Amino acid sequence: MKILFSGHDFKYETEATVKLFIPSRFTFHYDITDAPGDIVMSRLKTGKKYTYLYAYCRLNGKSCRKACHIPNAGADKNTCEHEICRLIYLCLQQLTGITPPWGLMTGIRPVKKMVSLLESGADKQQAFQILKDKYMVSQSRLELAYMTAENQIPLLKGMDCKTISLYISIPFCPTRCSYCSFISHSMDSARKLIPDYIRYLCREIEILGKIINNLGLKTDTVYFGGGTPTSLEASQLEIIMNKLAECIDISSVREYNVEAGRPDTITMDKLQTIKKSGVTRISVNPQTLNNDVLKIIGRRHTAEDTVKAFYMAREAGFDNINMDLIAGLPGDTYQSFENTLDKVLEMNPESITVHTLTIKRSAKLYDEKVKTSADNPTSKMVGKSIELLPEHGYNPYYLYRQKNTIENLENIGFAKKGKESLYNIFIMDETQTILGAGCAASTKLVTPDGKITRIHNYKFPYEYINRFNELMEKKKQIYEILEK
Ligand code: SF4
């Protein structure tokens, strides 16, 4: 499909708006006024008093056009960009009959906007009106964003710029799931690299420990993610966690997370090791409790393995367990999703995170064009979670969106009161510095003026190991930025 511009170059936002309706690939053309086939065209022209904005879309032979004008005095870049996207949105809504749940909001953090409106003094109705007028957000998502913001706001109070979170990346998994777009390597292909990876990761932890101590920072939360950290042996996890405890004062840590995502990696030995090291919260992720679907998505475990792993974690003393589910998995049906929800509720974890399937280019499933269908109605599955989980005491406390998610839906973390994951809130709210160690980890430095600087570690383990010194040079910026 062709996207044509004239008089402006709002490429990124225009593309994001078109993607709300049409998940195809686009070509971009400047200064072309028409072309055959399906097109999205927009134009900006500045007159003497007004700036004129225009959109024209043609899909499957049907077309729609919209126009508006703004006094030149108010026609700054952001306003014009937003208005052009609004016109395109209205055209495509009319041509496709689709009304995206988050309206014209394309960012990944919709709750941040709600939190900022409420904190600046708007009441619920005013906040709803502003977001409805500007972004055409649906009533159901306004309510969801409000409930999430209400649960987050008290947990965000009293944050101080001397506290940080720490992210440790273990980019290995037993096998690669068909929908995976993370930098994760199957254990079979990565086994040889692991000892070196652990050695370098420990060196980076030492370096971060010095930075934390020299700058007088306090570690608030720790998150071991990846990948599946529990793919490592208990003794390997112990080496990393001992190094962390040796270099960083973890006595102030309020939450110590480990993604034990894949049930087929969980053993009593590993659970006891991480518990002894101070871990307070783990995730045991069924994704689905339908064995046929598990096979389709390339997981080597069964639903029964998940249940076993969950109760083993209870036996090891974990009283804060999260379970991740995915709505819209290939082969799943509404009944089977409902069944998964019911069984997970029976297990009674402290939090449940409901993701919507997202298929990025790097995923094996990308070419299979997974679509929602009558049997697999993703928005109905997510809707059921939003209705059912609060009835059982699980309230939404963090939420984010991703590109290429089925029906432009979202991922929602639900938790029992007091069991919300602080790390998850902080990463979405972006009010706390996060120092990342390991390959593909990113460091996000937040200064009191609200400015965010990101430093990305190399993506692949061999690159991380081979270019370690270069990377640590780059990380010296942490001092310069945080010392301010
Ligand atoms: S468990 Fe997660 S990180 Fe690992 S392969 Fe599956 S989706 Fe990717």
* DSSP SS3 for 278: coil
Q: How far is the CA of 39 from the centre of ligand 1 (A)?
A: 37
Which portions of the chain are predicted below pLDDT 70? 183-184, 360-376
Q: How far is the CA of 231 from the centre of ligand 1 (A)?
A: 11
Ligand 1 geometric centre to CA of 186 (Å): 9
The finding on whether 262 has its CB within 6 A of some atom of ligand 1 is: yes
**Whose structure tokens read 């962390």?**
244
Ligand 1 neighbourhood includes 173 CB (under 6 angstroms): yes
Tokens matching residue 154: 């008290």
Pocket probe mutation, ligand 1, options 170, 172, 177, 358, max atoms within 8 Å of Cβ: 177
What is the pLDDT, as a whole number, of residue 256?
Answer: 98
Q: Is the C-beta atom of 193 inside 6 A of ligand 1? A: no
- Contact at 8 Å (CB) between 301 and 350? no
Is the Cβ atom of 257 under 6 angstroms away from ligand 1? no
Does residue 180 have its Cβ closer than 6 Å to ligand 1?
A: yes
Ligand 1 centroid to residue 184 C-alpha, Å: 7
User: Whose alpha carbon is nearest atom 7 of ligand 1?
Assistant: 180
Cα 420 to averaged position of ligand 1 atoms, centre (Å): 23
277: nearest Cα among 322, 311, 229: 229
Residues 6+ apart with CB under 8 A from 181: 358, 359, 360, 361, 362, 363
pLDDT of residue 177: 83
Which pLDDT score, from 0 to 100, does residue 362 have?
A: 57
Q: What is the pLDDT of residue 269?
A: 98
Ligand 1 contact, 182 CB (< 6 A): yes
Strand partners, 434: 165, 444
Provide the 8-state DSSP code for 357: P
Closest CA to ligand 1's atom 8:
180
pLDDT at 371: 56
For residue 188, report the distance from its CA to the centre of ligand 1, in Å: 14
**Ligand 1, atom nearest to 298 Cα:** 6
pTM value?
A: 0.92
Token readout for 145 is 């964003």
Closest CA to 453 of 417, 410, 482, 419: 482
H/E run at residue 91: helix 77-96
Edge-to-edge, what's the strand order for the sheet holding 411-415? 395-400, 411-415, 351-356, 321-327, 281-283, 255-259, 218-226, 163-170, 433-437, 442-446, 452-456
Give the Å distance between the CA of 356 and the centre of ligand 1. Answer: 15
- 227 Cβ closer than 6 Å to some ligand 1 atom: yes
Tokens of 113: 């906007």
pLDDT for residue 89: 97
Residue nearest atom 3 of ligand 1, based on CA coordinates? 227
Give the gyration radius of the chain's Cα atoms.
24
The answer, yes or no, to whether any atom of ligand 1 lies below 6 A from the CB of 148, is no
The CA 258 to ligand 1 mean position distance, Å, reads: 14
Q: Is 331 left (phi over 0), alpha (psi -120 to 50) or beta?
A: left
The tens digit of pLDDT for each residue in 20-35 reads 999 778 899 987 777 7
299 pocket-lining for ligand 1 (C-beta < 6 Å): no
